[in-house]
Amino acid sequence: MDHARAGRGISAVLAACVLLLALAGCASGDAVQGSFEREFGDDPAVVRLDLSTADNMPFTGGVGGTVTVRDELDEEQLRGLVGRIVSFRGDTAGDEDESRVRIDVVASDWTFPVLATQESSAAVLDAVFELRADPRVRSGTFISTDYQNDLDHVTLIAASTSEIAGLILDAPAIAAAGGKTPSITVRSPEDGGSAVEVSGRLGAWASDAVRAYETLRAQVPVTAFRAEEAAVSVTLADEGDVDAARTIVAEILDPTSTTVFYQSNLVTLSPGANGNEARGILDELDERARASVASVWTDDRSLTLTATSVGAVEHLAGAVSRSPGAAEVPVRIAVGQGDDTVFRLASSAGDLRGDTETAMRLMRTDGVEAVRVNPGTVLEVDFDSAPSERVLVGTAVPLKALSEFDERLCITWPAGSFCTRTAQVIDASDLGEMPGGRAFADAWNAAP
């Protein structure tokens, strides 16, 4: 074989591969981003580009991100910039434009997408400029998921809560004037007192919702009001106003078409929960127990009562266990929240009182700072310093009594910890070299 000829053949193949890669690179996301940066990075209308490649695969890549413009830009200048971005997009489009260029323009407190054609982008700008000039509106965000020819959603921040009712009537027409059909959210400003939000395909239902809010807040303190077509969430400043609020709202909103959820300074609902069982239990508590409840959370399948202090836990658990309503949902009693939780115990109503007494034995152990019991998942005891063998052994019996087995058991202190899986019998070797580990295991295994 002619080695020189073979070498030339290989070189030709390599050169062809390099050429193909170069051609692919021209159409990659990196290349489109680079072209966009060169085109608009020094544009006098632009303050900042925040870009990323939408997809770095050859011939399918693109660029996405935001273009922030100067605050003092006038309408003609902004329209000119958007027009140039639309043209750039057209110049880089592939055979099927799923939008290789997905750009949002940020103009002061307004954000809007650049769509596929000059006409569709101009229609978006028409709505933006009309709403920017409206004294009832403080800011707005326009969203398109595919950056083609329509908008999916518009969020408007009202200048004040009192302007929401008028915007509900006018905003859909402003968007529709350009052939757009977005859902719309109208929201109160953060400094407007109550948090009010109406969201969806605005219509008569939205006007009724705002009327319900205005009527309600005239009679009881309201901290938040959020409405969609089939659901309204009301947050009251005082749990004691819930019954009055139900009566007021029921006179305005049809309960057969709109579900209303009531939260308060005391009761927080998981989305979709009504809280009826939780409120039934609260109503059945004695005065001392009710006063010890700092907050309530429920998803209607379970209930968490956060107590004001560790000292209130046992009385609260006893009162809850006597409530007929507690038989319907598992109950968790906690002290503190998040990383500051010092006590947490979940149990069924029938076992709650006894389990609480057992957990409080642990809580009163020398050096214990926190006890957290989540049956079926984890048992945790935190010490303020390394526990002695005597103290450690003393925790074994109550911990085993609280365990449902095959849980993660962790005992921690500032300089160390040990964890194991619970079972009827645990292996001391699983506890490593922890001082007192074998004695703990022996005490655990000896317990019933």
406 is written with which tokens? 């095959």
Alpha-carbon separation of residue 140 from 59, 105, 183, 254 (angstroms):
35, 12, 13, 31
| C-alpha span between 144 and 448 (Å, rounded) | 63
Alpha-carbon separation of residue 69 from 112, 246, 333 (angstroms):
12, 48, 52
Question: How far apart, in Å, do the first and last CA atoms of the chain sit?
Answer: 86
Per-residue pLDDT of the chain (448 residues; tens, 9 = 90+): 454 444 444 444 334 433 333 333 444 446 888 899 999 999 999 999 999 875 544 445 688 999 999 999 999 999 999 999 999 998 876 555 455 789 999 999 999 999 999 999 999 999 999 999 999 999 999 999 999 989 999 999 999 999 999 999 999 999 887 788 899 999 999 987 889 999 999 999 999 999 999 999 999 999 999 999 999 999 999 999 999 999 999 999 998 999 999 999 999 999 999 999 999 999 999 999 999 999 999 999 999 999 999 999 999 999 999 998 888 789 999 999 998 999 999 998 789 999 999 999 999 999 999 999 998 899 999 999 999 999 999 999 999 999 999 999 999 999 888 888 999 999 887 776 677 788 999 999 999 9
What b/e readout covers 300-335, taking b as 16+ CB neighbours within 10 angstroms?
A: beebbbbbeebebbbbbbebbbebebbebbbbbbbb
Alpha-carbon separation of residue 107 from 51, 69, 134, 270, 365 (angstroms):
16, 5, 16, 36, 61
